[in-house]
Amino acid sequence: MKADPLPTLDISSAPGLFLVGSDGRVRLEGGRVPIERVLYAHEHGEPPESIARDFALALCDVYSVIGFCLRNRVAVQTYVEALDSQAEALKVEVESEWPESVRARMNDILSRAGRGAAASR
């Protein structure tokens, strides 16, 4: 699958904090942590101290990512939505290649877990 390119996220307001990988994803400089992982944890109630510990980041970097995302809400939201869209397209492509028996088994497992096939999309 050839994914659509990610929208450009202007990181020039945070020099030395981020890098853009060859895949177009924005990560913290010196690490492999994508900014959307930090943002997701923050938006789901994780305190910055826990995020720093869970991702082995400096606390000041976690606050910097959160601040950057708050100052650039629209651009970051567009970027994250594009990532979500790519992930969904890949999921659909991969699942379409599964044999029918595997799809049926997966739907059975998801429905028993309360997440039927329709709910997982």
Number of domains in the chain: 1
Is the pLDDT score of 119 beyond 60?
no
Residue 62 lies in a domain: yes
CA-based nearest residue to 35, from 1, 78, 2, 66: 66
The answer to whether residue 83 sits within a structural domain is yes
Summary mean pLDDT of the chain: 86
User: Is 82 a domain residue?
Assistant: yes
Q: What is the pTM of this model?
A: 0.71
Domain membership of residue 54 (yes or no) is yes
pLDDT, tens only, 29-50? 877 899 999 999 999 999 999 9
> CA nearest 28: which of 68, 71, 1, 74?
68
Residue 79 to residue 103: CA distance in whole angstroms: 31
CA distance 87 to 57: 25
CATH of the domain at 70: 1.10.10
Helix (H) or strand (E) holding 19: strand 18-20
